[in-house]
């Protein structure tokens, strides 16, 4: 694998001195400073957590405007106490980034608790849906990943050895109008979870000793109190932590950060822009018909259609010849189609779901070069909107850390839009936090990272970047510029 690798990883992050952005995204007044004083003797107890009596009531509502106002006017928290002897990190989000952050903290001897909303498992956008009793299986977000970084490659080798992942050897290519298929070179390995992406996420964390997982749990409030971060879920206390990690993004993270006392972190999060993608999961009794003489493929980036950008036969991908049931296909729309047909993802109107399903199936039919009405009727369908699907801009830095507020961010969007970026970001933040806990508490300014970093657009496919699969020079450029490495 080494031949494919960019040399980004073996080095370590140098804290960035915040630079003034040339063109600020927001104009705002200097932040007032709220100092929370606490010495290490006065460790908070359960009874010292914020209560309705000692908590200041929010003067703001929760509309988008008020969140923005809150984000920009909130006071900066400055922890001045030393951290506990056995520090504990609270990680909000159990996708690839949050999980890798927890695992990497463990390697450095630091305890953590991962909170995740997942009802069926961890993984976030590593989603796998199993439909019983037919046993239909769909990866309904991340489909596969490639490896371009040596640190990630080492990790991936370990997953291969443990049997958590396998190479996807099926034919993958580009499908253009009328069924014209061009196979992508198979020289670069493509990887998938052996039973799908979500089981991979769950098994990553299964043999840990310093990582706790709390799920399903939706952290709704972060409060600095008595030298610790107190996390709660709709008023229910979920623990207190020396350092917190925000390992999710989008609207939810913006709300959470809007009144947290972390204006610089909140501002960076608000700069992030995300695409929307429709997913159609469809099972067909038989293999999909192809044009005469066309290559049978398992995955294809679809070009030239609005309603379809990717299609993959998940049954062939995950089960291969072991399968004797229906063929489960995952279809994704383009981001442009997702944007135009956006609705609240938790509450998709039936008419919209029907319209989207019809236009995506039409797109599939046309892409395969089939005559109108000849695509077989699926025996199972389900549409889903990924309202916050993939980042479209990035600060191009592995992580963000506010040492005064003892809070960091990790996630795919800090480096790009794929699982590799998410993993690298989680690992980088963990190392940074471990160093901070070891040496940086007394000189926090040296540990500020990415708080003022400008964002650049991200290139790639509608469903992310696959470095090496085809040339993506812009991505490489962003990574090279974004990292500041100590050699
Ligand atoms: C349609 C689609 C297709 C994709 N295809 C590919 C692909 O083929 N290859 C590839 O490499 N990448 C692909 N990606 C991108 C890839 O899935 C992401 O880059 C990666 O999974 C991001 O990981 P993350 O940990 O940064 O975030 P996430 O996976 O989003 O994890 C964040 C987690 O935090 C949880 N959370 C949010 N708020 C809270 C809260 N308040 N309290 C507790 N938990 C919370 C969320 O539920 C989620 O589980 C695709 C993405 C989409 C949407």
Output the average pLDDT for the chain.
85
| pLDDT confidence bin for 486, thresholds 50/70/90 | very low
Q: Whose CA is nearest to atom 46 of ligand 1?
A: 124
Q: Domain boundary at 386, 411, 431, which?
A: 386
Q: Domain boundary at 386, 405, 427, which?
A: 386
Q: What is the mean pLDDT of residues 50-66?
A: 44
Residue 193 sits in the same domain as residue 232: no
What's the confidence (pLDDT) of residue 290? 85
Distance CA 377, CA 379 (A): 7
Residue 213 sits in the same domain as residue 112: yes
Residue 372 sits in the same domain as residue 436: no
Q: How far is the CA of 123 from the centre of ligand 1 (A)?
A: 7
For residue 128, pLDDT beyond 70: yes
- Specify the higher pLDDT residue, 458 or 178: 458
Reduced to 3 states (helix: H, G, I; strand: E, B; else coil), residue 440 is helix
What's the confidence (pLDDT) of residue 470? 66
Q: Domain boundary at 343, 367, 386, which?
A: 386
Q: How many Cβ atoms sit within 10 Å of the Cβ of residue 198? A: 24
Distance CA 471, CA 299 (A): 19
Residue 338 sits in the same domain as residue 365: yes
Residue 252 sits in the same domain as residue 397: yes
Distance CA 211, CA 350 (A): 41
- With a 6 Å cutoff on the Cβ, whether 117 touches ligand 1 is yes
What atom in ligand 1 is closest to the CA of residue 256? Answer: 41
Tokens of 50: 């914020």
| pLDDT confidence bin for 71, thresholds 50/70/90 | low
Residue 183 sits in the same domain as residue 233: no
Please return the burial class of 428, using the count of CB atoms within 10 Å of its CB with bins 0-12, 13-18 and 19+: buried
Provide the residue range defining the domain that includes 308: 128-199+275-386
What's the confidence (pLDDT) of residue 70? 54
165 forms bridges with which residues in the sheet?
193
Q: How far is the CA of 474 from the centre of ligand 1 (A)?
A: 22
| pLDDT confidence bin for 217, thresholds 50/70/90 | very high
Q: List CB contacts of 163: < 8 A, sequence separation 6 or more.
A: 194
For residue 231, pLDDT beyond 90: yes
Q: How far is the CA of 242 from the centre of ligand 1 (A)?
A: 25
What atom in ligand 1 is closest to the CA of residue 388? Answer: 53
What's the confidence (pLDDT) of residue 69? 53
Q: How far is the CA of 142 from the centre of ligand 1 (A)?
A: 8
Residue 103 sits in the same domain as residue 163: no
pTM of the model: 0.86
- With a 6 Å cutoff on the Cβ, whether 99 touches ligand 1 is no
Q: What is the mean pLDDT of residues 141-153?
A: 97
- With a 6 Å cutoff on the Cβ, whether 275 touches ligand 1 is no
| Residue closest to 446 by CA, chosen among 459, 435, 461 | 435
Residue 45 sits in the same domain as residue 91: yes
For residue 392, pLDDT beyond 50: yes
- With a 6 Å cutoff on the Cβ, whether 453 touches ligand 1 is no
- Tens of pLDDT, residue by residue over 335-362, are 999 999 999 999 999 999 999 999 999 9
Tokens of 453: 């970093």
Q: What is the mean pLDDT of residues 103-118?
A: 98
Q: Cβ(449)–Cβ(16) under 8 Å?
A: yes
113 forms bridges with which residues in the sheet?
90, 212
| pLDDT confidence bin for 91, thresholds 50/70/90 | very high
CATH number for 413: 3.50.50.60
Lowest mean pLDDT among 44-58, 66-80, 434-448: 44-58
- Tens of pLDDT, residue by residue over 426-484, are 999 999 999 999 998 889 999 999 999 999 999 999 999 998 776 443 333 333 333 33
Residue 183 sits in the same domain as residue 298: yes
Q: List CB contacts of 283: < 8 A, sequence separation 6 or more.
A: 131, 134, 136, 326, 327, 328, 329, 378, 379, 380, 381
For residue 98, pLDDT beyond 70: yes
Residue 115 sits in the same domain as residue 152: no
Residue 356 sits in the same domain as residue 300: yes
Q: Cβ(412)–Cβ(391) under 8 Å?
A: yes
- Tens of pLDDT, residue by residue over 310-338, are 999 999 999 987 877 899 999 999 999 99
Backbone φ and ψ for 235, nearest 5 degrees, come out as: 90, -15
- Tens of pLDDT, residue by residue over 242-292, are 999 999 999 999 999 999 999 999 999 999 999 999 999 999 999 999 887
Q: How many domains does the chain have?
A: 2
What atom in ligand 1 is closest to the CA of residue 252? Answer: 38
- With a 6 Å cutoff on the Cβ, whether 464 touches ligand 1 is yes
Residue 433 sits in the same domain as residue 452: yes
CATH number for 147: 3.90.660.10
For residue 73, pLDDT beyond 80: no
Backbone φ and ψ for 19, nearest 5 degrees, come out as: -105, 155
Q: Whose CA is nearest to atom 34 of ligand 1?
A: 93
- With a 6 Å cutoff on the Cβ, whether 277 touches ligand 1 is yes
Q: What is the mean pLDDT of residues 88-116?
A: 98
Q: Cβ(116)–Cβ(98) under 8 Å?
A: yes
Tokens of 42: 């006065």
Q: How far is the CA of 397 from the centre of ligand 1 (A)?
A: 18
- With a 6 Å cutoff on the Cβ, whether 219 touches ligand 1 is yes
């Amino acid at each position: 694998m080494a031949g494919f690798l960019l040399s980004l990883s073996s080095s370590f992050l140098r804290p960035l001195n915040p630079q003034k952005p040339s063109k600020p995204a927001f104009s705002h007044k200097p932040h007032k400073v709220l100092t929370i004083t606490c010495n290490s003797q006065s460790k908070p107890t359960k009874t010292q957590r914020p209560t309705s009596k000692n908590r200041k009531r929010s003067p703001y509502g929760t509309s988008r405007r008020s969140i923005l106002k809150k984000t920009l006017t909130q006071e900066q928290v400055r922890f001045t106490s030393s951290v506990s002897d056995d520090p504990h990190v609270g990680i909000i989000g159990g996708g690839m980034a949050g999980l890798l952050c927890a695992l990497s903290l463990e390697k450095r001897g630091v305890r953590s608790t991962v909170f995740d909303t997942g009802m069926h498992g961890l993984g976030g956008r590593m989603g796998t849906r199993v439909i019983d009793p037919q046993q239909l299986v769909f990866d309904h977000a991340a489909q596969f990943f490639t490896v371009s970084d040596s640190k990630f490659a080492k990790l991936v080798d370990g997953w291969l050895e443990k049997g958590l992942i396998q190479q996807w050897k099926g034919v993958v290519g580009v499908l253009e109008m009328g069924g014209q298929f061009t196979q992508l070179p198979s020289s670069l390995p493509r990887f998938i979870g052996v039973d799908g992406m979500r089981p991979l996420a769950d098994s990553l964390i299964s043999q840990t000793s310093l990582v706790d997982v709390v799920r399903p749990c939706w952290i709704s409030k972060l409060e600095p109190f008595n030298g610790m971060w107190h996390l709660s879920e709709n008023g229910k206390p979920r623990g207190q932590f020396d350092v917190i990690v925000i390992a999710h993004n989008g609207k939810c993270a913006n709300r959470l950060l809007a009144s947290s006392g972390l204006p610089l972190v909140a501002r960076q999060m608000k700069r992030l822009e995300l695409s929307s993608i429709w997913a159609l999961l469809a099972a067909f009794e038989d293999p999909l018909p192809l044009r005469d003489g066309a290559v049978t493929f398992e995955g294809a980036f679809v070009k030239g259609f609005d309603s379809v950008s990717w299609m993959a036969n998940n049954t062939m991908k995950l089960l291969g010849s072991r399968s004797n049931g229906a063929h489960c296909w995952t279809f994704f729309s383009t981001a442009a189609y997702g944007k135009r047909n956006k609705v609240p993802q938790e509450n998709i109107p039936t008419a919209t779901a029907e319209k989207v399903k019809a236009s995506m199936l039409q797109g599939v039919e046309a892409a395969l070069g089939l005559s109108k009405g000849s695509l077989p009727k699926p025996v199972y369908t389900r549409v889903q909107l990924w309202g916050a699907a993939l980042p479209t801009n990035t600060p191009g830095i592995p992580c963000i850390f506010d040492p005064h507020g003892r809070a960091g961010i990790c996630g795919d969007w800090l480096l790009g839009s794929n699982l590799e970026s998410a993993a690298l970001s989680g690992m980088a933040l963990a190392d940074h936090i471990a160093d901070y806990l070891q040496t940086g508490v007394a000189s926090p300014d040296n540990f500020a990272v990415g708080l003022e970093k400008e964002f650049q657009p991200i290139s790639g496919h509608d469903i992310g970047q696959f470095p090496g699969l085809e040339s993506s020079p812009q991505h490489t450029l962003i990574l090279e510029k974004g990292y500041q490495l100590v050699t």
